[in-house]
Structure 1
Amino acid sequence: MAADTLLVMFRPPFAWRELLQQCWFVSRVSIFPTLMMSVPFTVMAVFVINLLLVEIGAQDAAGSGAALGAVTQIGPMVTVLVVAGAGATAMCADLGARKIREEIDAMDVLGINPLQRLVAPRVVAATLVALLLSPMVTAVGLIGGFTFSVFLQNATPGAFVAGLTLLVGLPEIVISLVKSALFGFTAGMIACYKGLSVGGGPAGVGNAVNETVVFSFVGLFVINVIVTAVGVKATA
Structure 2
Amino acid sequence: MATAHVPARIHGLLNEVGELFVVALEGLRRTWDVRTWFWEFMEQAWFLARVTSLPVILVSLPLGATVALQVGQLAAQLGAQSATGGAVVVGLVREVAPIAAALIIAGAGGAAMTADMGARRIRDELSAMEVMAVNPVHRLVTPRLWASGLIATLLASLVIASGAAGGFVFNVLLQDVTPGAYFDGAVSLLQTSDLLVTLLKSWLFGLVAAVVACYMGMSCESSPVGVGRAVNRSIVVAFMLVFALNYVITTVYFVAFPPKI
TM-score by length of 1: 0.96
In structure 2, distance between residues paired with 1:201 and 1:90: 16
In structure 1, distance between residues paired with 2:68 and 2:251: 22
Instruction: Point out the structure with max Rg over C-alpha.
Output: 2
Q: Gaps spanning 5+ residues in structure 1: where?
A: none
Aligned to 1:168: 190
* 1:144 Cα deviation after fit: 1.0
* 1:114 Cα deviation after fit: 0.4
2:216 to 194, 199, 217: 194
In structure 2, distance between residues paired with 1:12 and 1:38: 34
- The answer on 1:59 being equivalent to 2:84 is no
Aligned to 1:40: 62
* 1:13 Cα deviation after fit: 4.3
1:75 to 93, 97, 100: 97
1:120 to 121, 138, 142: 142
In structure 2, distance between residues paired with 1:81 and 1:42: 17
1:142 to 148, 154, 164: 164
Superimposed CA distance per residue, residues 166-206 of structure 1 (whole angstroms, 9 cap, x where no aligned partner): 11121100011011001100000000000100114110000
Q: How does 1:212-231 map to 2 (within 5 A)?
A: 212-231=234-253
Aligned to 2:47: 25
In structure 2, distance between residues paired with 1:221 and 1:153: 33
In structure 2, distance between residues paired with 1:93 and 1:51: 45
- The answer on 1:7 being equivalent to 2:29 is yes
SS at match of 2:189: coil
Root mean square deviation, CA, Å: 1.2
Q: Gaps spanning 5+ residues in structure 2: where?
A: 1-22
In structure 1, distance between residues paired with 2:76 and 2:181: 14
Aligned to 1:50: 72
Aligned to 1:130: 152
In structure 2, distance between residues paired with 1:126 and 1:141: 22
Aligned residues: 236
Superimposed CA distance per residue, residues 88-144 of structure 1 (whole angstroms, 9 cap, x where no aligned partner): 110110000000111000101110000110000011110010011211210111011
**Does the 8 A contact of 1:42 with 1:69 survive in 2?**
no
Higher mean C-alpha deviation, range 26-35 or range 221-230: 221-230
* 1:11 Cα deviation after fit: 3.8
SS at match of 2:30: helix
**Does the 8 A contact of 1:8 with 1:115 survive in 2?**
no
Amino acid at match of 1:94: D
Amino acid at match of 1:30: T
In structure 1, distance between residues paired with 2:251 and 2:120: 40
**Does the 8 A contact of 1:186 with 1:219 survive in 2?**
yes
**Does the 8 A contact of 2:63 with 2:166 survive in 1?**
no
In structure 2, distance between residues paired with 1:228 and 1:47: 26
TM-score by length of 2: 0.87
